[in-house]
Amino acid sequence: MNDAFAFRGGCHCGRLRVTFSTALDPASITPRACDCSFCQKHGAAYVSDPAGQLSVIMQSPDALRRYRQGSNTAEFLLCDRCGVLVAVVFEHKARIYGAVNALSLEGPTGFGGAVPASPQVLAPGEKVARWSQLWVPDVELVTSGT
């Protein structure tokens, strides 16, 4: 993939970093603001590109806190120290799919305004089908050691 746009970001304290690469024009990317109580409390709005790339780089393995809620289908990735929600992932057919919290990216990103999303109204199988089409496949979770 020839990524025209590479976005970097991470948590507040720097223990988690993220990179999101896409060939999509940023103005065509609309962050999805999940309306579940967990995402609302974190102010999360997710972006993804099924042809893009997403990496979460941990300073050390203990820097990453994983949290599941609701249907337990998705796993939220948060910094163990500062609590910032950087991404959400799920595993399906031995692949890890993910979406990055647009608010964890360094700005300005040029993304469009956030729109509400209501995954909680979907059954777990419907979520997997939808996310498999919308989210970045083969997310990399990497420990940097620095």
* SS3 category, 48: coil
pLDDT of residue 119: 87
Please tell me the total count of domains within the chain.
Answer: 1
The rounded distance, in Å, linking the Cα atoms of 134 and 79 is 24
**Mean pLDDT of all residues in the chain?**
94
Least confident of 8-17, 20-29, 84-93, 124-133: 124-133
pTM of the complete model beyond 0.75 = yes
Which residue, 137, 96, 139, 134, is CA-closest to 117? Answer: 134
Residue 2 has pLDDT above 60, yes or no: no
pLDDT of residue 146: 58
Structure tokens belonging to residue 131: 């996310």
The rounded distance, in Å, linking the Cα atoms of 58 and 142 is 6
Residue 107 has pLDDT above 90, yes or no: no
Structure tokens belonging to residue 30: 């609309």
CB 55 within 8 A of CB 137: no
Residue 60 has pLDDT above 60, yes or no: yes
Q: Residue 28's domain is classified under what CATH number?
A: 2.170.150.70
